[in-house]
Structure 1
Amino acid sequence: MKKGLKPLGKTVVLALLALGLMSCSSASIDDYANTNPKLDLAEFFDGKLTAAGIVQDFSGKVTRKFTVTMEAHWSDTPQGKQGVINEWFVYDDGEKQTRVWTIIDQGNGSYLGTANDILGIAQGESKGSALRWRYDMLLAVDDSEYEVHFDDWMFLVDQNTIINKSDIIKFGITVAEVTLVISKQAN
């Protein structure tokens, strides 16, 4: 019996290693440092906004659709510029949810956020036209709640539109994705 892997075995091992390396790599906020238009969270999330989105399961199948109405405002506080974003969700099955975000702008594109269903503090970083949020959340599904991690990206398309894409992660595996288009309303 020969030592080492047979050619087919080597190919499979190399393919698995390459897949593992690709799954470990992800976009970095630094990739967007020189992109335009520049995202200013306080400027975009100010006043009335609306959004429409979908939830997709791990296979890409759309499992839910929803709309969101938002109202946002910012004020100066001793901790820095603080934003409050009220969100009212309506899902295609009739379910309704409310989330209230409190966001602190720490300067230099760094943000901290809290909300009623967020565990701990959301960490945000913005460069160019992009913002990346990372946070843990209690996600209600049917009659149960699950602790999941969100890798949440926002991309400013123009002065009135953000596309938001979130990976929902459990045990290091993306179990669902949320895509949302957020639009500013005329005040």
Structure 2
Amino acid sequence: MMLTPYKTFFAILACLSLFSCSSASIDDYDQTTPKLNLVTFFDGELTAAGIVQDFSGKVTRKFTVTMTGEWQDSPEGKKGVLKEWFVYDDGEKQTRIWYLTDLGNGQYEGRADDILGVAEGQANGSALRWRYDMKLPVEGSEYEVEFDDWMFLVDENTIINKSDIIKFGVTVAQVTLVIQKS
């Protein structure tokens, strides 16, 4: 069956409409509880365990993380430093230090050495959505990718973090992480 240009146009338009409507919004979590506050949760010692899945859903890596967060008042808002130490199942180790700012009204921004520009975050209810570009090392190469990073506060001691890693507009991998306050 051959599609006419007219039918092809409407088929593409229908597909695009489906994809554009399928994205969650931070506003969807307005009435959810408990309320997530990064300053409160990421203060002190934390541990985490996670997995990386490729585009097909296959688990390609497992890892653990030890974290320490500290916050101070500043004229720009509360400023935090979150240190993360990753240990992967293949023995690789990585360190990331986030410099975070609570801008008020659920708005956050973050910087780290491997983050390109500024990570922008918005919290609402029990959820937080981060968006940022990152230099991601993979098997000796480095790739610039986008992260669509969602955190969900389950209880006062637990966050589930789900991240889509995106290249050229396509999700190429996902990271799932459970973070626990010590």
TM-score, structure 2 normalization: 0.93
- Whether 1:182 aligns to 2:179 is yes
Aligned length: 181
Q: 1:77 aligns with which of 63, 74, 78?
A: 74
Q: 2:17 aligns with which of 21, 33, 39?
A: 21
More displaced stretch, 45-54 vs 17-26: 17-26
Partner of 1:32: 29
Q: Over aligned residues, Cα RMSD in angstroms?
A: 2.0
Partner of 1:166: 163
SS of aligned partner of 1:22 = helix
Percent of residue pairs bearing the same amino acid type: 68
1:32-51 matched pairs, under 5 angstroms: 32-51=29-48
Partner of 2:88: 91
- Given residue 178 of structure 2, which amino acid in structure 1 is its aligned partner? V
Whole-angstrom CA distance in 2 between matches of 1:11 and 1:57? 34
SS of aligned partner of 1:24 = helix
Q: 2:105 aligns with which of 103, 108, 116?
A: 108
Whole-angstrom CA distance in 2 between matches of 1:63 and 1:71? 26
Whole-angstrom CA distance in 2 between matches of 1:27 and 1:121? 22
Whole-angstrom CA distance in 1 between matches of 2:8 and 2:155? 45
- Larger-Rg structure: 1
Whole-angstrom CA distance in 2 between matches of 1:138 and 1:126? 24
Structure 2 portions without partners, runs of 5+: none
Q: 2:133 aligns with which of 126, 130, 136?
A: 136
Whole-angstrom CA distance in 2 between matches of 1:63 and 1:51? 17
Q: 1:33-68: CA deviations, max 9, x gaps?
A: 110000011111010000000000000000000000
Whole-angstrom CA distance in 2 between matches of 1:6 and 1:85? 56
Alpha-carbon shift at residue 13 of structure 1 (Å)? 7.4
SS of aligned partner of 1:106 = strand
Q: 1:129-164: CA deviations, max 9, x gaps?
A: 000000000000011100000000000000000000
SS of aligned partner of 1:39 = coil
TM-score, structure 1 normalization: 0.90
Partner of 1:157: 154
- Given residue 160 of structure 1, which amino acid in structure 2 is its aligned partner? N
Q: 1:123 aligns with which of 98, 120, 123?
A: 120
SS of aligned partner of 2:19 = helix
Alpha-carbon shift at residue 19 of structure 1 (Å)? 3.4
Alpha-carbon shift at residue 24 of structure 1 (Å)? 2.0
SS of aligned partner of 2:161 = strand
Q: 1:150-183: CA deviations, max 9, x gaps?
A: 0000000000000000000000000000000000
